Chain A
Amino acid sequence: MTATMTSAAADDTTMDGTAMTDSSVTDSTPDDTAIAEIEGLNVRFGPAHVLHDVDLQVRQGRTVGLVGESGSGKSTLAKVLVGVVRPSAGTVRVAGMDVHRLRGKEHFAFRRRVQMIPQDPFSSLDPRLTVGESLAEAIDPGRATVRRHHDRIEEALERVKLPGVAGRYPHEFSGGQRQRIAIARALAVRPEFIIADEITSALDVSVQAQVLDLIAELRDELRLTMIFISHNLAVVQEVSDEVAVMSRGWIVEHDTADNVYGRPAHPYTRLLLDSVPGCPGFTLDDQ
């Protein structure tokens, strides 16, 4: 892979990139209960084996960054967590519920407690609904009216610093503003667990910085638990407590952010870090 990989790291890993044990993640936050627990998760789409034996725990109040290149399985993992993709094997429990065996009222309860912020600010809001209508639908999917939920809608919009826009349509907003509206919609439900899938990838850097600040601020204020998915290592480092590195459907490394970035254990993590311009290991000289 790369010349810079340490022999110690190589010893810890089998050649096919099997997941390392994450025994080193023994953190002592006030609350140690796991919000999301994934055990032995495998996903196959026909002949394609998309996720291999994924084990992942996300504890209360923590933000786990999920980083990897295209095709590594990060988005599939997110879809499994919200119940859109069914696992071929393994269990996924979120907020005490088995995501793929929800019964009756559990469906609704699950949708209230877990929210996903989608990637593309240009297609995540229905162009024919006002901002208020979109938020009302999130608050009350059955009989959404803006008037009935006016206060909660305003509160959510104020949180993302866009007060008083409930009556306007998505096309009136820039990409960054739309992404903030999408965040407001997710928060209007008052969830405890947020999955953010590449939410800044379509944005300019200055707008990205605003959205990242906002997400970090809201998370601390509302004590949210979060999975933050991105291909951008710097962005992931900025918001995450722990980082899981994915490659070809495996979680190759999961540790505290400081350990992953400061003392990468897996050669693939090393390779990723060395590929980021500006990192100490980055060079354009030919090997």
Chain B
Amino acid sequence: MTESIPKGVADRTPQASRWRRQLNPLTISGLAILLVLVVIAIVAPTVLGDAAQALTDNATMGPSREHLLGTDSLGRDIFARTLVATRLTLLMTVGATALSIIVGVVVGIGLWLAPRPIREPGLRIVELAVTFPGILLALIIAAIVGQGVIPAVIAIGLGGAPAFARLAANLAAKVSRREFVQTARLLGVGPVRIAMRHILPNMSEPMLILMASAFGASLIDLSGLSFIGLGVQSPQFDFGFLLNDALHNIYTHPAQVFGPAVMITVTGLAIMLVGDGLAAAANPRSSMPGVPWTRRAAARAVERAATTITEPTTGDRLLEIDNLVISGPTGQPIVKGISFHIDRGEILGLVGESGSGKSLTAMSVARLLPSTLAASAQRMQLGDIDLIHRVPPKQLARAVSLVYQDPGSTFDPALRMGGQLSDVLRVHLGMTRDEARERILENFRAVRLTDPEHRYRQHPHELSGGMRQRAMISSALNVDPLLLIADEPTTALDVTVQREVLRLLKQQNLTQRTAILFISHDIGVVKALCDRVMVMRHGEILEEVAAADLDPDHVRHPYTRQLLDATPHVEVPTPDLEGVGAR
């Protein structure tokens, strides 16, 4: 869990740096091989063209110093022929791939633009065509059109087009749901213009990735077509043709196969490496810079600072934190040495705008910091648990509970409520299934979920947002935690439901003396629920104030006052009985 930064924050990262970061060694070697192949394709025919065509008396020879890979049945040098064939093979592959893309994108976008009665059957036909092997389609086309370079390119190109058509239609449907396309439509921009201006540019990344794998597939298919004699015809030759040539002598001179086979493999490998690189760059989940794989799985705990204090908290103190520093992947401080405490039975509010570090502070208490961040503190003491040391998960699970912002995504949609809620109790508290069930139902009743037995058997999607958040809170209370961390628990809820959830938290606090760390951007909510409030900005605590004093007359820091001023209040006007003139 990081800050509740609005979605789309990823595209704030400049594209250029993202690509640079993604150039891992494999991608670079793929690009290097491709470069070498292109140089060969350009240079070889001019330098070795004559050698590749020259007939000699040494027909069907094995490798020798003059002929590194031997000669074919007409005495031509196979090494030279292999290098020379690179040009035609690459040109044909590029041509076939380009044809696939152009035909595919035109058909795909055309289908998306077409009226529904054409679009739906069209999409089904495209899907059918995708399942049909391209090489078979190519065989049929080659049989009709004839053999040779151009027919082979057309055949393989058309054979690869359905995959692009399907991707283009799917991406167009996805992009067109985004708000800017709908806005353009509302502005009166025509459909063709929307397709050219908004849809096409926004689907280029997945297209690029498919292009790489389509290039590899075209290479194999074209080589296959030439190999079975339906592609390139003599006197022209590509890798597949050479392979076919070599096949006749495979028992006597197996080395002949070596040249074209290696070239096909190397070309295919290079393009797959580049394709993988592109795919990795486009997938934000694989782009965590500078973190070794092994450390990614485990959530991070807080490290010990140079000097530490570890004696247990005394008296009413439940949580004590001294000089907590959290820094990002590049070492920049996000939380800058904050200290605070929570008393037993207290509700502490943490307010701030996005990026203030409030969620990270809370996550460090639950030892759930993302592993890309580093944290240290002089003291982090929760009751008699030293949070800086390794804490047994069971002990932590009993001491701290969490309630998250989005009641829609905190539950696994595939599991029933009861099943996933009882996990914690059975694993950490060692309860049996029936004991866990009893405890959960009891807590369902405590949070006033209607018909608890029924809810226990339901799936999360059958509950409303408010009910899910109550279930979440009830599960947080299952373990009778010392501290409940609630991270924007009402932000996604309607005001009437928000009030119910706030009541629930208050009630739990009053009856069980559960301490609560309540994080919110909403100063009104914090003031209503909390005992004491800390205002955070840019990783620092600016002000600590009793919730009752949270008004412009009592706060000291200008930022707090600014925050209070900016927060709109409902003002109750003197009713205007005539109903005339609001402004």
Say whether B524 contacts A276, CB under 8 Å. Answer: yes
A238 located at the interface, meaning its Cβ lies under 8 Å from any Cβ of chain B in the complex: yes
Say whether A256 contacts B179, CB under 8 Å. Answer: no
* Mask of B174-192 contacts with A, CB within 8 angstroms, 1/0: 0000111111101111100
* Mask of B187-199 contacts with A, CB within 8 angstroms, 1/0: 1111001000110
Say whether B193 contacts A171, CB under 8 Å. Answer: no
Say whether B571 contacts A237, CB under 8 Å. Answer: yes
Interface centre among B193, B502, B576 (most CB of A within 10 A): B576
A4 located at the interface, meaning its Cβ lies under 8 Å from any Cβ of chain B in the complex: no
The verdict on A26 contacting B179 (CB below 8 Å), with A122-B7, A204-B354, A286-B503 known, is no
The verdict on A277 contacting B187 (CB below 8 Å), with A141-B193, A237-B570 known, is no
* Mask of A67-92 contacts with B, CB within 8 angstroms, 1/0: 00110000000000010100000000
Partner of B521, one of A129, A205, A234: A205
Say whether A278 contacts B524, CB under 8 Å. Answer: yes
Question: In the complex, what distance in Å separates the CA atom of A142 from the CA atom of B191?
Answer: 11
Which residues of A112-139 have CB atoms within 8 Å of chain B's CB atoms? 115-116, 118-129, 134, 137-138
Say whether A261 contacts B572, CB under 8 Å. Answer: yes
* Mask of A270-284 contacts with B, CB within 8 angstroms, 1/0: 011111111110101
Which residues of A33-62 have CB atoms within 8 Å of chain B's CB atoms? none
B498 located at the interface, meaning its Cβ lies under 8 Å from any Cβ of chain A in the complex: yes
A138, closest chain B residue (CB): B187
Partner of B179, one of A119, A138, A255: A119
The verdict on A234 contacting B570 (CB below 8 Å), with A28-B581, A284-B506 known, is yes
Q: Give the segment of A9-17, A157-165, A206-214 that binds chain B.
A: A206-214
Partner of B576, one of A107, A262, A274, A278: A262
Partner of B570, one of A115, A120, A126, A273: A273
Q: Give the segment of B276-284, B287-295, B426-434, B561-569 that binds chain A.
A: B561-569
A97 located at the interface, meaning its Cβ lies under 8 Å from any Cβ of chain B in the complex: no
A98 located at the interface, meaning its Cβ lies under 8 Å from any Cβ of chain B in the complex: no
B236 located at the interface, meaning its Cβ lies under 8 Å from any Cβ of chain A in the complex: no
User: How many B residues face the partner with a CB closer than 8 A?
Assistant: 65
A210, closest chain B residue (CB): B566
A154 located at the interface, meaning its Cβ lies under 8 Å from any Cβ of chain B in the complex: no
A146 located at the interface, meaning its Cβ lies under 8 Å from any Cβ of chain B in the complex: no
Say whether A271 contacts B187, CB under 8 Å. Answer: no
* Mask of A247-287 contacts with B, CB within 8 angstroms, 1/0: 00000000111110111000000011111111110101110
Partner of B186, one of A28, A111, A209, A212: A111
Inside 8 A of B9's CB, which chain A residues have their CB? 122
Say whether A26 contacts B579, CB under 8 Å. Answer: yes
A265 to chain B, nearest CB (A): 10
B573 located at the interface, meaning its Cβ lies under 8 Å from any Cβ of chain A in the complex: yes
Say whether A261 contacts B570, CB under 8 Å. Answer: yes
B59 located at the interface, meaning its Cβ lies under 8 Å from any Cβ of chain A in the complex: no
Partner of A25, one of B354, B563, B579: B579
A235 located at the interface, meaning its Cβ lies under 8 Å from any Cβ of chain B in the complex: yes
Chain A interface residues toward B at CB < 8 A:
24-28, 69-70, 82, 84, 107-108, 111, 115-116, 118-129, 134, 137-138, 141-142, 171, 175, 185, 189, 202, 204-206, 208-209, 212, 231-235, 237-238, 240-242, 255-259, 261-263, 271-280, 282, 284-286
Chain B interface residues toward A at CB < 8 A:
6-9, 11-14, 178-184, 186-190, 193, 197-198, 201-202, 353-354, 465, 494-496, 498-499, 502-503, 506-507, 521-525, 527-529, 562-563, 565-577, 579-583
5 closest A-B pairs by beta carbon, nearest first, are A122-B8, A263-B575, A24-B579, A234-B568, A277-B528
